[in-house]
Amino acid sequence: MSAGEEGPVSGGFTAEEELLHVAGFTTISEGLAAGLGFDKACAGIETVDAGLRRVIADDYLKVTIAQRHFQGTESIAAIAASLGVPAERIEGARREMLAEVAAASVDVFRRQGGDVPDA
């Protein structure tokens, strides 16, 4: 890597993207605390990259589901209502999150020498 070039940090982000990711989470949290719905809170994310904005919003939903549904006791419907989004959107994010965890688990198992037959 040449001088001034930034490589990926945790999560596969560059250092600049990581800063935008953290700032995006703060923006969403502050927007929700101010009474905005999830989508309006996400509109305040400052990045010119629509793809990164979508990743930040999706990640925020997944963290929220992990904290409030899996670690807590809130239902998907209650989380959706509090964020002002359809329950189907939260359920879709939950399914995507579980699929990502399953894929990552299989990847780690294979890298450690395990053999998993393809489904």
Q: Please determine, for residue 74, whether its predicted confidence score (pLDDT) is greater than 90.
A: yes
What pLDDT, on the 0 to 100 scale, is given for residue 119? 57
Query: What are the angstrom distances between the C-alpha of 41 and each of 24, 52, 112?
Result: 9, 15, 41
The pTM of this model reads: 0.79
pLDDT tens, residue by residue, 16-45: 889 999 999 999 999 999 999 999 999 999
What pLDDT, on the 0 to 100 scale, is given for residue 49? 86
Angle at 52 (CA atoms; ends 50, 99), nearest 5 degrees:
120
pLDDT band at 107 (very low <50, low <70, confident <90, very high): confident
